Amino acid sequence: MLEMAGVPYTGSSPLWLGITYDKVITKTPIRNSGVPTPNFRVMRLGTESTGDLRFPVVVKPRHEDNSFGLQLVHEPAQLSQAVEAVVTQYAQDALVEEYIDGREICVALHGNGELEVFPSVEIELGETGIYTWEAKYQAAASRPKVCPAEIGSGLATLVQDISVASFRACQCRDYARVDLRIDRAGQPFVLEINPLPGLNIHSTFATAAMTAGHSYSSLINQILHVAHLRCFGIGIPRPCWTS
């Protein structure tokens, strides 16, 4: 609505918000930029060929966010039931992708031409090994965020480079969050990119920004600043920012 009305706004365009809402299509520009993502199949029945997919696999709705419908499937015999659950509950295809056994890292970025990459945040996965909706919103207190993530400088640089490449491949604007897994061999894989991440004060994005030295209000004003610069060619004068 804002785009049609010619009203400036923060964040990515409707086109790329729509593209990244489709987890399957999003893999194409990310992979074309040389960024590794888990191998996958799209299924409607669960009886389709898994090809060279290695179990365990993660089954999730193709178009949802907030980790709705996320399931970890260890054996091929369990796959049909997991896919059926997604199709029945969410009325859409299931994305079936190889489970990356390792650490889950989130990287928050903001800017346009020149990007600021905030310190990475590690999500404590617990015994389930996946970051489900329940873990995000019902057991958040027992799943602390570690920021900055305790990874070596070389790996931290690689994760940053991959996150920037994903941001640019999906033509994000102003701000976004990249979710990755790092396997036991230290190889990062991009799971998803979120060009409209949560920005409440307890969010992963805010945690990363405040670790980098921002206050919550300065983070929000910084996003407004880079969007204003993108739209009008000038930033918001700093005296107008709140502390």
Residue 243 has pLDDT above 50, yes or no: no
Confidence of residue 139 (pLDDT cuts 50, 70, 90): low
Q: For 191-198, what is the mean pLDDT?
A: 95
Question: Residue holding tokens 């390792």?
Answer: 102
What is the value of pTM for the model shown? Answer: 0.89
- 150-191 pLDDT, tens per residue? 999 999 999 999 999 999 999 999 999 999 999 999 999 999
Q: What is the DSSP string of the chain?
A: -HHHHT---SS--HHHHHHHHSHHHHHHHHHHTT-----EEEESSS-S--TTPPSSEEEEESS--TTTT-EEE-SGGGHHHHHHHHHHHHSSPEEEEE---EEEEEEEEEESSSEEEPPPEEEP-TTT-S--HHHHHTSGGGS-EESS----HHHHHHHHHHHHHHHHHTT--EEEEEEEEEETTS-EEEEEEESS---STTSHHHHHHHHTT--HHHHHHHHHHHHHHHHHSS---GGGS--
d(CA 71, CA 79) in angstroms, rounded, equals: 10
Provide the pLDDT for residue 69. Answer: 84
Confidence of residue 235 (pLDDT cuts 50, 70, 90): confident
Percent of the chain with pLDDT over 70: 89
Q: For 133-143, what is the mean pLDDT?
A: 53
Provide the pLDDT for residue 129. Answer: 63
Confidence of residue 135 (pLDDT cuts 50, 70, 90): low
Residue 11 has pLDDT above 90, yes or no: yes
Q: For 31-35, what is the mean pLDDT?
A: 96
Percent of the chain with pLDDT over 90: 79
